[in-house]
Structure 1
Amino acid sequence: MRPVLVIGNRNYSSWSLRPWIFLRHYGVDFDEIRLPLETATFGERIAEFSPSRRVPVLIHGERRIWESLAICEYAGDTFPGVRAWPSDPAARAEARSVACEMHAGFGALRREMPMNCRARNRKVTPSDAARLDIRRVIDIWQGARARFGRQGPWLFGEFGIADAMYAPVAVRFLTYGVAPRDRAGEWMHAVIDHPAMAEWAAAAREEPEVIEDEEVG
């Protein structure tokens, strides 16, 4: 049965982007339902699909998977050819560690630099906490590529969940003018230039909704 991915606004929903780009990269054929965030009908509509009442959620037959990391892992377990994690144990352990770190952390970066695919040249003055988050993210990208990603553009060799989890941060850095160098910068531009990312960004530019709280800088 063809899966369905329920997402929020492309322009703002970083959690929706993560499984979407992962599924697209591996050519998983899925339908899509877009529910604009912060509208009068969002709560009622998302309750039809997700017990958490949040996007994204993947519907596959009778199964509902309602969290970005879980959706990506489910895809790796279910759809042929999808490579979720590196095969090397050391690389796999680090990939899982940094993916979970992204999932649970970087609160200052999220708050002060919300994802906004349409925006460019936004100016913000990051707090000390956000600066620490930025430095940590760049260190993660640089270190993973130095240790495990030398043979290609991705963090751990082949595109995987770790790349998908950090893809929205690449968009944030582009929006707010953060420009990593060396291997970290190469990874960021590989994400921005990914055909699936270009497709997502083009659709984001066509969305009519504006969420004022997300328009920072």
Structure 2
Amino acid sequence: MSLTLVIGDKTYSSWSLRAALALELTGEPYAEQLIALYQPDTRTQILRYSPTGKVPLLISDDGAIWDSLAIAEYLAESFPAAQLWPQARDARALARSACAEMHSGFMALRSHLPMNLKHNQALVEIPADALADIRRVCELWAACRQRFGLGGAFLFGRPSLADAFFAPVAARLRSYQVVLPAEAQAYVETIYQWPAFQRWLQAAQEEQLG
């Protein structure tokens, strides 16, 4: 199958990172089409590929798939042997719930701690609503790890779509030097040791932004 992932700047685009990590989990080869964000022609360039004017978008033999969650589900269906979701039904249900919560929630965290992989400085003060989001993230990570993560260092033991969806959160917490409970800090370290994430991070550090 031919696969091309249309993404934004690796430094900033958290949703592009989620889709890229999902693709990495499949082990399948794919091409990247990067569109620089925050430029006068950014929307025009994205609209060449995506009807929503947003990234990411996956171009496949079946057509275009947009939105990170839709891309993740498409890849899970297309490459079942890769086991992108946990195999046990109860674990899979929790993983899907966690990804859906990430997809639709944590607005304060996103707003006040935007992803910037070149950033490495604490905020003077984290607003209360963002702190509440951070506490919820830590609770959710702990619940996944305690129920299903004992077989490895990731949320469900081995890397899964849940880790793809929460890797940008881990990056935010590291970038803004947020003090975390020990278990949450250990999970952030796990993400930073994940080869798929390391490749993206290295590319972000080398990225020349307009």
* 2:17 is aligned with 1:17: yes
Match of 2:176 in 1: 176
Deviates more, 1:119-128 or 1:143-152: 119-128
CA RMSD of aligned residues (A): 1.4
Residue 190 to residue 74, structure 1, CA distance change in 2 (3 Å): same
Match of 1:145 in 2: 145
Aligned residue pairs: how many? 210
> Does the 8 Å contact 2:120/2:174 carry over to 1?
yes
- Could you tell me how far apart the structure 2 residues matched to 1:138 and 1:71 are? 25
Deviation at 1:205, TM superposition (A): 1.3
> Does the 8 Å contact 1:138/1:184 carry over to 2?
yes
The one-letter code matched in structure 1 to 2:106 is F
Deviation at 1:80, TM superposition (A): 5.3
Match of 2:34 in 1: 34
Q: Deviations over 1:63-119 (max 9, x none)?
A: 111010111111111135322221212111111111100000000000000001111
Match of 1:129 in 2: 129
Residue 99 to residue 80, structure 1, CA distance change in 2 (3 Å): closer
Match of 2:76 in 1: 76
The one-letter code matched in structure 1 to 2:143 is G
- Structure 2 residue matching 1:177: 3-state secondary structure: coil
- Structure 1 regions of 5+ residues with no counterpart? 211-217
Match of 1:167 in 2: 167
Match of 1:188 in 2: 188
Q: Give the TM-score normalised by structure 2.
A: 0.95
Q: Give the TM-score normalised by structure 1.
A: 0.92
- Structure 2 regions of 5+ residues with no counterpart? none
Match of 1:93 in 2: 93
Deviates more, 1:3-12 or 1:37-46: 37-46
Match of 2:111 in 1: 111
- Structure 2 residue matching 1:6: 3-state secondary structure: strand
- Could you tell me how far apart the structure 1 residues matched to 2:103 and 2:4 are? 23
> Does the 8 Å contact 1:145/1:184 carry over to 2?
no
- Structure 2 residue matching 1:81: 3-state secondary structure: helix
Residue 179 to residue 29, structure 1, CA distance change in 2 (3 Å): farther
- Structure 2 residue matching 1:157: 3-state secondary structure: coil
- Structure 2 residue matching 1:59: 3-state secondary structure: strand
> Does the 8 Å contact 1:146/1:183 carry over to 2?
no
Deviation at 1:184, TM superposition (A): 2.4
* 2:203 is aligned with 1:203: yes
Residue 34 to residue 124, structure 1, CA distance change in 2 (3 Å): farther
- Could you tell me how far apart the structure 2 residues matched to 1:182 and 1:147 are? 17
